[in-house]
Structure 1
Protein backbone atom coordinates (compact mmCIF):
# COMPACT_ATOMS: atom_id res chain seq x y z
CA UNK A 1 0.00 0.00 0.00
CA UNK A 2 1.28 3.47 -0.87
CA UNK A 3 1.65 5.52 2.33
CA UNK A 4 1.32 8.87 0.62
CA UNK A 5 -1.87 7.97 -1.23
CA UNK A 6 -3.47 6.28 1.77
CA UNK A 7 -2.83 9.23 4.10
CA UNK A 8 -3.88 11.79 1.50
CA UNK A 9 -7.11 9.84 0.93
CA UNK A 10 -7.84 10.40 4.62
CA UNK A 11 -7.25 14.15 4.24
CA UNK A 12 -3.50 14.32 4.81
CA UNK A 13 -1.43 14.41 7.98
CA UNK A 14 -1.23 17.34 10.39
CA UNK A 15 1.62 15.80 12.42
CA UNK A 16 4.08 13.04 11.48
CA UNK A 17 6.53 11.39 13.89
CA UNK A 18 9.18 9.74 11.73
CA UNK A 19 11.53 7.20 13.32
CA UNK A 20 12.39 5.59 9.96
CA UNK A 21 13.82 8.17 7.55
CA UNK A 22 14.71 7.23 4.00
CA UNK A 23 11.92 6.83 1.47
CA UNK A 24 9.23 6.71 4.16
CA UNK A 25 10.25 10.20 5.27
CA UNK A 26 9.70 11.51 1.74
CA UNK A 27 6.36 9.70 1.40
CA UNK A 28 5.25 11.09 4.77
CA UNK A 29 6.32 14.60 3.81
CA UNK A 30 4.32 14.40 0.57
CA UNK A 31 1.30 13.17 2.57
CA UNK A 32 1.38 16.21 4.87
CA UNK A 33 -1.33 18.83 4.72
CA UNK A 34 -0.30 22.48 4.43
CA UNK A 35 1.10 23.84 7.72
CA UNK A 36 1.80 20.33 9.02
CA UNK A 37 4.65 19.49 11.38
CA UNK A 38 7.04 16.61 10.67
CA UNK A 39 9.10 15.49 13.67
CA UNK A 40 12.25 13.53 12.87
CA UNK A 41 13.08 11.14 15.72
CA UNK A 42 15.38 8.62 14.08
CA UNK A 43 16.70 6.83 11.01
CA UNK A 44 15.80 3.15 11.48
CA UNK A 45 16.06 2.64 7.72
CA UNK A 46 19.74 3.56 7.91
CA UNK A 47 19.19 6.40 5.44
CA UNK A 48 19.22 10.04 6.51
CA UNK A 49 16.90 11.83 4.07
CA UNK A 50 17.75 15.05 2.30
CA UNK A 51 14.98 17.56 2.81
CA UNK A 52 13.94 19.57 -0.26
CA UNK A 53 13.43 23.12 1.00
CA UNK A 54 11.05 23.94 -1.86
CA UNK A 55 8.51 21.42 -0.45
CA UNK A 56 8.73 23.12 2.93
CA UNK A 57 8.13 26.50 1.35
CA UNK A 58 5.21 25.49 -0.89
CA UNK A 59 3.32 23.67 1.89
CA UNK A 60 4.47 25.86 4.80
CA UNK A 61 5.75 22.74 6.57
CA UNK A 62 7.70 22.63 9.82
CA UNK A 63 10.36 19.93 10.08
CA UNK A 64 12.01 19.61 13.46
CA UNK A 65 14.37 17.13 15.01
CA UNK A 66 13.82 15.60 18.41
CA UNK A 67 16.54 13.67 20.23
CA UNK A 68 15.89 12.44 23.79
CA UNK A 69 19.60 12.26 24.55
CA UNK A 70 20.00 15.97 23.96
CA UNK A 71 17.37 16.74 26.54
CA UNK A 72 19.31 14.81 29.20
CA UNK A 73 22.01 17.47 28.93
CA UNK A 74 19.88 20.62 29.03
CA UNK A 75 16.45 19.60 30.42
CA UNK A 76 16.79 16.36 32.41
CA UNK A 77 13.63 17.06 34.43
CA UNK A 78 11.59 17.17 31.20
CA UNK A 79 12.90 13.70 30.32
CA UNK A 80 12.07 12.32 33.77
CA UNK A 81 8.55 13.76 33.63
CA UNK A 82 7.95 12.48 30.10
CA UNK A 83 9.14 8.98 30.97
CA UNK A 84 7.01 8.98 34.11
CA UNK A 85 3.96 9.87 32.02
CA UNK A 86 4.78 7.20 29.42
CA UNK A 87 5.13 4.48 32.07
CA UNK A 88 1.86 5.60 33.65
CA UNK A 89 0.06 5.42 30.30
CA UNK A 90 1.56 1.99 29.64
CA UNK A 91 0.40 0.73 33.06
CA UNK A 92 -3.10 2.06 32.29
CA UNK A 93 -3.14 0.20 28.95
CA UNK A 94 -3.21 3.42 26.94
CA UNK A 95 -0.06 2.43 25.02
CA UNK A 96 0.47 -0.86 23.23
CA UNK A 97 3.96 -1.13 21.71
CA UNK A 98 4.16 -3.36 18.65
CA UNK A 99 6.22 -6.44 19.48
CA UNK A 100 7.34 -8.26 16.36
CA UNK A 101 9.46 -10.93 18.08
CA UNK A 102 9.52 -12.65 21.48
CA UNK A 103 12.59 -14.82 21.98
CA UNK A 104 13.94 -16.84 24.90
CA UNK A 105 17.22 -15.72 26.46
CA UNK A 106 19.01 -18.60 24.71
CA UNK A 107 18.17 -16.91 21.37
CA UNK A 108 19.22 -13.39 22.39
CA UNK A 109 21.87 -13.37 19.66
CA UNK A 110 19.15 -13.90 17.07
CA UNK A 111 17.26 -10.95 18.54
CA UNK A 112 20.32 -8.73 18.29
CA UNK A 113 20.79 -9.80 14.67
CA UNK A 114 17.17 -8.86 13.91
CA UNK A 115 17.91 -5.37 15.23
CA UNK A 116 21.31 -5.09 13.54
CA UNK A 117 19.94 -6.15 10.15
CA UNK A 118 16.86 -3.96 10.60
CA UNK A 119 14.66 -7.03 10.01
CA UNK A 120 12.25 -6.47 12.90
CA UNK A 121 9.07 -4.49 12.36
CA UNK A 122 8.60 -3.71 16.03
CA UNK A 123 10.15 -4.35 19.41
CA UNK A 124 12.26 -7.45 19.96
CA UNK A 125 11.64 -8.81 23.45
CA UNK A 126 14.08 -11.21 25.10
CA UNK A 127 12.22 -13.25 27.71
CA UNK A 128 14.14 -14.21 30.83
CA UNK A 129 12.62 -17.08 32.84
CA UNK A 130 11.47 -16.05 36.30
CA UNK A 131 11.58 -12.33 35.59
Structure 2
Protein backbone atom coordinates (compact mmCIF):
# COMPACT_ATOMS: atom_id res chain seq x y z
CA UNK A 1 0.00 0.00 0.00
CA UNK A 2 1.19 3.47 -0.67
CA UNK A 3 1.46 5.95 2.15
CA UNK A 4 0.34 9.52 1.76
CA UNK A 5 1.96 12.26 3.76
CA UNK A 6 -0.04 15.29 4.66
CA UNK A 7 1.57 18.63 5.21
CA UNK A 8 -0.21 21.32 7.15
CA UNK A 9 0.15 24.82 5.82
CA UNK A 10 -0.66 27.85 7.92
CA UNK A 11 -2.99 30.26 6.11
CA UNK A 12 -1.37 33.47 4.90
CA UNK A 13 -4.08 35.68 6.40
CA UNK A 14 -6.68 35.01 9.02
CA UNK A 15 -10.31 35.90 8.51
CA UNK A 16 -12.13 38.36 10.78
CA UNK A 17 -13.84 35.55 12.66
CA UNK A 18 -10.55 33.72 13.19
CA UNK A 19 -8.87 36.88 14.42
CA UNK A 20 -11.81 37.62 16.73
CA UNK A 21 -11.78 34.14 18.27
CA UNK A 22 -7.99 34.23 18.73
CA UNK A 23 -8.23 37.63 20.44
CA UNK A 24 -10.95 36.24 22.73
CA UNK A 25 -8.73 33.28 23.55
CA UNK A 26 -5.81 35.58 24.25
CA UNK A 27 -7.88 37.77 26.58
CA UNK A 28 -9.64 34.89 28.34
CA UNK A 29 -6.43 32.93 28.90
CA UNK A 30 -4.95 35.99 30.56
CA UNK A 31 -8.01 36.79 32.69
CA UNK A 32 -9.10 33.27 33.63
CA UNK A 33 -5.82 31.39 33.88
CA UNK A 34 -2.63 33.47 33.81
CA UNK A 35 -3.54 36.19 36.30
CA UNK A 36 -5.16 33.81 38.83
CA UNK A 37 -2.26 31.35 38.64
CA UNK A 38 0.33 34.12 38.85
CA UNK A 39 -1.38 35.75 41.82
CA UNK A 40 -1.88 32.41 43.56
CA UNK A 41 1.79 31.58 43.12
CA UNK A 42 2.76 35.08 44.29
CA UNK A 43 0.67 34.89 47.47
CA UNK A 44 1.88 31.34 48.11
CA UNK A 45 5.46 32.54 47.81
CA UNK A 46 4.79 35.51 50.09
CA UNK A 47 3.19 33.24 52.68
CA UNK A 48 6.13 30.81 52.46
CA UNK A 49 8.57 33.65 52.94
CA UNK A 50 6.64 35.08 55.90
CA UNK A 51 6.69 31.65 57.63
CA UNK A 52 10.41 31.19 56.79
CA UNK A 53 9.68 28.11 54.68
CA UNK A 54 11.51 29.80 51.80
CA UNK A 55 14.29 32.27 52.48
CA UNK A 56 13.78 35.90 51.54
CA UNK A 57 17.16 36.00 49.88
CA UNK A 58 16.68 36.85 46.20
CA UNK A 59 13.08 37.87 46.89
CA UNK A 60 12.51 39.86 43.69
CA UNK A 61 14.00 37.15 41.52
CA UNK A 62 11.67 34.58 43.10
CA UNK A 63 8.64 36.85 42.77
CA UNK A 64 9.41 37.51 39.12
CA UNK A 65 9.93 33.80 38.53
CA UNK A 66 6.60 32.72 40.01
CA UNK A 67 4.72 35.48 38.16
CA UNK A 68 6.28 34.49 34.84
CA UNK A 69 5.69 30.79 35.55
CA UNK A 70 2.03 31.51 36.40
CA UNK A 71 1.63 33.47 33.17
CA UNK A 72 3.17 30.75 31.01
CA UNK A 73 1.35 27.86 32.72
CA UNK A 74 -1.92 29.80 32.44
CA UNK A 75 -1.48 30.36 28.71
CA UNK A 76 -0.53 26.73 28.09
CA UNK A 77 -3.39 25.39 30.20
CA UNK A 78 -5.94 27.35 28.15
CA UNK A 79 -4.96 25.88 24.77
CA UNK A 80 -7.43 22.98 24.91
CA UNK A 81 -10.26 25.38 25.76
CA UNK A 82 -9.24 27.63 22.89
CA UNK A 83 -9.17 24.68 20.48
CA UNK A 84 -12.70 23.73 21.52
CA UNK A 85 -13.80 27.33 21.09
CA UNK A 86 -12.40 27.48 17.55
CA UNK A 87 -13.99 24.16 16.60
CA UNK A 88 -17.42 25.19 17.93
CA UNK A 89 -17.56 28.85 16.89
CA UNK A 90 -15.88 28.66 13.48
CA UNK A 91 -15.94 24.95 12.48
CA UNK A 92 -15.41 25.53 8.74
CA UNK A 93 -12.48 27.92 9.03
CA UNK A 94 -8.91 27.20 8.03
CA UNK A 95 -7.87 27.30 11.70
CA UNK A 96 -10.40 24.60 12.55
CA UNK A 97 -9.07 22.51 9.68
CA UNK A 98 -5.53 22.97 10.99
CA UNK A 99 -6.63 21.86 14.44
CA UNK A 100 -8.26 18.79 12.96
CA UNK A 101 -5.14 18.19 10.84
CA UNK A 102 -7.00 18.32 7.56
CA UNK A 103 -6.06 20.38 4.56
CA UNK A 104 -8.80 22.02 2.57
CA UNK A 105 -7.47 20.62 -0.69
CA UNK A 106 -6.46 17.18 0.56
CA UNK A 107 -6.67 14.51 -2.11
CA UNK A 108 -6.90 10.92 -0.99
CA UNK A 109 -5.60 8.01 -2.98
CA UNK A 110 -8.14 5.32 -3.77
CA UNK A 111 -6.98 1.74 -4.11
CA UNK A 112 -8.77 0.07 -6.98
CA UNK A 113 -9.56 -3.55 -6.26
CA UNK A 114 -10.62 -5.48 -9.35
CA UNK A 115 -12.18 -8.30 -7.34
CA UNK A 116 -15.80 -7.80 -6.29
CA UNK A 117 -16.39 -6.96 -2.65
CA UNK A 118 -18.50 -9.33 -0.61
CA UNK A 119 -21.11 -8.12 1.86
CA UNK A 120 -19.05 -9.23 4.85
CA UNK A 121 -15.95 -7.12 4.16
CA UNK A 122 -15.82 -3.42 4.93
CA UNK A 123 -15.13 -0.99 2.12
CA UNK A 124 -12.87 2.01 2.72
CA UNK A 125 -15.13 5.02 2.31
CA UNK A 126 -12.87 7.92 3.25
CA UNK A 127 -9.84 8.94 5.25
CA UNK A 128 -10.15 10.63 8.66
CA UNK A 129 -8.09 13.57 9.89
CA UNK A 130 -5.25 11.28 10.98
CA UNK A 131 -4.95 9.59 7.57
CA UNK A 132 -6.56 6.36 8.74
CA UNK A 133 -9.22 4.73 6.54
CA UNK A 134 -12.84 5.08 7.58
CA UNK A 135 -14.90 2.01 6.75
CA UNK A 136 -18.52 1.57 5.91
CA UNK A 137 -20.28 -1.72 5.57
CA UNK A 138 -22.32 -2.78 2.53
CA UNK A 139 -25.34 -3.82 4.54
TM over 0.5: no
TM-score range, shorter chain: under 0.3
Name the TM-score, length of structure 1 as normaliser: 0.20
State the structure with bigger RCO (CA 8 A, min sep 6), 1 or 2.
Answer: 2
Higher helix share: 2
From the CA coordinates, give the structure whose radius of gyration is larger.
2
Between Structure 1 and Structure 2, which shows a larger proportion of strand residues? Answer: 1
When normalised by structure 2's length, the TM-score is 0.19
